[in-house]
Amino acid sequence: MKPSNEVPNEPAIESDGGLVCSPVASLAQDRSPVASLAQDRSPVASPAQVRLRLQIAYDGTDFSGWATQAGHRTVAGVLEDALATVFRTPLVLYAAGRTDSGVHATGQVAHVDVPADALGHAYPRTPRPQDPEFQPLVRRLCRFLPEDVRVLDIVRAPTGFDARFSALRRHYEYRLSTAVFGVIPQHARFITPWPRRLDVPAMAEASRVLVGLHDFAAFCRHRDGATTIRDLQRFDWHAEGDAVTAYVTADAFCWSMVRSLVGALLAVGEGRRDAAWCAGLLDASARSSAFAVAPARGLSLVGVDYPPDDQLEARILITRDLRTRPGAAEPTGCAEEQPVSRQEP
């Protein structure tokens, strides 16, 4: 569906996801046959494989999110089809952020383990030694990709690299237009129209009380066995004319967290709530119904940070160590995977 330039009266709540603990029992039903490969996931590639790191950008408007789902057009599904065509074998991508339907990315990172023998004959080599090793592979892959998804770069992943579990932090941006006419057509797929007056300084003040290591249960949809404790490292707002942008960074995000944070702060910007109300949300042990989740179209994953190569494997152990509230029962399940039909912010 093409994005409308109209302002929704009640922004729809859509599925997001995050780095949370959940069983993988539904994997076989949710993914194509290549999904069974994911169950044997290892933090390092086997000697017979080469792990590649991919930098990816996409317009999420016409995708049902990142994760492969039977009967749906997804970013991972399109990319895995292209990889399978090039390497002539089914492959599975693992991403730093499994973005939800309609969410975009300019700085997505993923990894894939490719059989070493397939790597040797899948694409022509460059005759110029100064060219990047996988430049011809990037060129060939993009021949099989639609215009709304691009592989920007491919490199050999260092030992211990895992696109998801090695990550230190994810960076998102949420863009709005407060212009009375909404959004100009050239930007309509990437900016949410919000033609209402927003008190951006009040939003910035309220955002600051949320920064830090907290339980963000009020901002996350419930997931059995999932932790909602996250380290929100940045939540800033910037206004320039009619353009308003939120900058949101955390070590990881729960299901629905980024757009929930934005939705709550829009209530502050419209004068319906204040900073004290935002601070009070951190005491909640369940998702709040006091605000709406912001629409997906304004959200983009713009970057992912990783530690130095010699700290990658140690970072994986930290990421998989689930956090709990003081006095709370330990989460059930594992930290490694979640049903792939669920997405991230």
**Numbered residues of the known binding site for substrate:** 172
Q: Which residue has the tokens 């069983």?
A: 23
> Which one from 30, 40, 59, 100 is the annotated catalytic residue?
100
Instruction: For residues 34 and 54, give the distance between their C-alpha atoms in angstroms, rounded to a whole number.
Output: 19
Q: Yes or no: say if 327 and 177 are a contact pair by the CB < 8 Å rule.
A: no
Joined together, the tokens standing for residue 323 give 């956090």
Joined together, the tokens standing for residue 76 give 């991972």
Q: Report the SS3 class of residue 56.
A: strand
Residue 100 is a catalytic residue: yes
Instruction: For residues 194 and 244, give the distance between their C-alpha atoms in angstroms, rounded to a whole number.
Output: 10
Beta pairing class for 229-240 and 49-58: unpaired
- In DSSP terms, which residues pair with 235 in a beta bridge? 248
Instruction: For residues 343 and 121, give the distance between their C-alpha atoms in angstroms, rounded to a whole number.
Output: 34
Binding positions? 172
What is the Cα gyration radius of the chain? 20
Which positions are annotated as active-site residues? 100
